[in-house]
Amino acid sequence: MSGIDLINVVKRFGALTIIDKLNLAIAEGEFVVFVGPSGCGKSTLLRMIAGLEEISDGELRIAGNRMNETPPAKRNIAMVFQSYALYPHMNVERNLGFALETARLPTAEIRERVTKAAKFLKIDHLLERRPAQLSGGQQQRVAIGRALVRQQKLFLFDEPLSNLDADLRMEMRVEIARIHREVKATTVYVTHDQMEAMTLADRIVVLKDGFIAQIGTPMELYERPANRFVASFIGSPRMNFLPGLLAREGEESVLSLSGGRHRLAAHDYAGDVTLGIRPEDLMLGGGEATLEAEVLLVEPLGGESLVHLNVGDGRSIVVKAQGKPNIRPGTTTLVGWKHERAHLFGKDDRALLPGRT
């Protein structure tokens, strides 16, 4: 048992409330990613689980036991830091074995665990080196190795890949996924990169200003964002938003956009709305609903292209199209979508669904 329960958890720094009455249950063996923009409280929340920050109010339970007053060392966790936090004066082998050495494990066992972790992370040829003699990616592997050798049931990662370049980030992402698959430890992972969140997580917790904006599997968040914030945060390039008006007309609702009127299934909501459509759900030339648009720019990315369109009132949208569409900037084109791929958000930015307010 090594699930985590956060019950009405609050974090205050003086008069400033960073996290307010947050509730979250993480199951044993689950890989949960906290994602959100800078300052949303995701790192603070992780550090509260680790015991590096005090919990102002509420309760933290690990494996069912209250942990608020338990020092970090007794929480049976292993943590990987953004800055790696390697001991600069020790070589890789001692860095890996230091915690075990401190715990007075037999030398033979320390050696065995260190060798195993080093092999697993492909750093066994670097054991004699000191951190300063390693590349960023290698240092990160050592930091992960240091967490692995302790064989804890709970892993915490605090933006572990943000100091690496794009290639290494992808490589280490795959590596972390592999480690989770094999070690099966409960993992909490903090990142501001929605791509890492999408690829690694069993469940994603999107945080905004200390609140949970939405919890769900990556595909749930992508397919059914609960609000405009999650809709724009998950997905790249980000979702297009257009203002409109939703009105009830008998057995159906009518959505009025500046470029036309569209009949939809009946919604209970009526009034100002925002229509959201992902670039990959827009089609050039036609669809169930269409708008006329002026082509601003075509960005070929190789296999696909990003087409920037002006849809009137100075509003621009982005379409992700396969290959390189044969259109020129300055010309007019039709852009369309399927109603089932469109998202509607009410005045309070909450997602609207047919038949619900």
Partner 1 sequence: MATMRIGLNAMRARTAWLFLAPSLVVLFAVALWPLGRTFLFSFTDAYLTEPDIYDYIGFENYFTLFEDPLWWQSVRNTLFFTVISVSIETALGLAIALLLNAHIGGRGLMRAVILIPWSIPVVVSARMWQWMLHDQFGILNHVLKLMGLIDNGIAWTANPDLVMPVIIAVDVWITTPFMVLLILAGLQMLPRSIYEAASIDGVSEWRQFTALTLPLLAPSIAVAVLFRLLDALRMFDLSFVLSSNSDDTKTVSIYAREVLVNFQDMGVGSAASAAIFLMIAIVTAIYVTVFRLNRRLLGV
Which residues are at the interface with partner 1 (CB under 8 A)? 50-52, 71-75, 77-79, 81, 83-89, 91, 98-99, 102-103, 130, 146, 150
Identify the helix (H) or strand (E) that includes residue 137: helix 136-148
Order of strands across the sheet that contains 4-13: 16-26, 4-13, 57-62, 65-66
**How far, CA to CA in Å, does 289 sit from each of 256, 267, 323, 342?**
11, 18, 23, 10
Rounded to the nearest whole angstrom, what is the least distance from the CB of residue 132 to partner 1 in the complex? 11
Rounded to the nearest whole angstrom, what is the least distance from the CB of residue 103 to partner 1 in the complex? 6
Rounded to the nearest whole angstrom, what is the least distance from the CB of residue 129 to partner 1 in the complex? 11
Nearer to partner 1, 98 or 241 (CB): 98
Nearer to partner 1, 102 or 331 (CB): 102
Beta-bridge mates of residue 78: 155
* DSSP summary character for residue 149: T
Nearer to partner 1, 149 or 172 (CB): 149
**b/e burial code for range 115-133 (CB count within 10 A of at least 16 → b):** bebbebbebbebbebbbee
Nearer to partner 1, 78 or 213 (CB): 78
Rounded to the nearest whole angstrom, what is the least distance from the CB of residue 317 to partner 1 in the complex? 43
Rounded to the nearest whole angstrom, what is the least distance from the CB of residue 56 to partner 1 in the complex? 18
Nearer to partner 1, 85 or 177 (CB): 85
Rounded to the nearest whole angstrom, what is the least distance from the CB of residue 25 to partner 1 in the complex? 23
Identify the helix (H) or strand (E) that includes residue 172: helix 166-183
Rounded to the nearest whole angstrom, what is the least distance from the CB of residue 184 to partner 1 in the complex? 20
Nearer to partner 1, 83 or 135 (CB): 83
Determine the Cα–Cα distance for residues 104 and 168; give it in Å rounded to an integer.
35
**How far, CA to CA in Å, does 72 sit from each of 23, 49, 79, 219?**
21, 9, 10, 34
Bridge-based pairing of strands 186-191 and 31-35 is: parallel
Rounded to the nearest whole angstrom, what is the least distance from the CB of residue 87 to partner 1 in the complex? 6
Under a CB-based contact definition with an 8 Å cutoff, are residues 149 and 111 in contact?
Answer: no
Tell me the Cα Rg of the chain.
Answer: 25
Determine the Cα–Cα distance for residues 266 and 248; give it in Å rounded to an integer.
7
Residue 108: CB partners within 8 Å, gap ≥ 6?
none
Nearer to partner 1, 51 or 218 (CB): 51
Nearer to partner 1, 46 or 179 (CB): 46
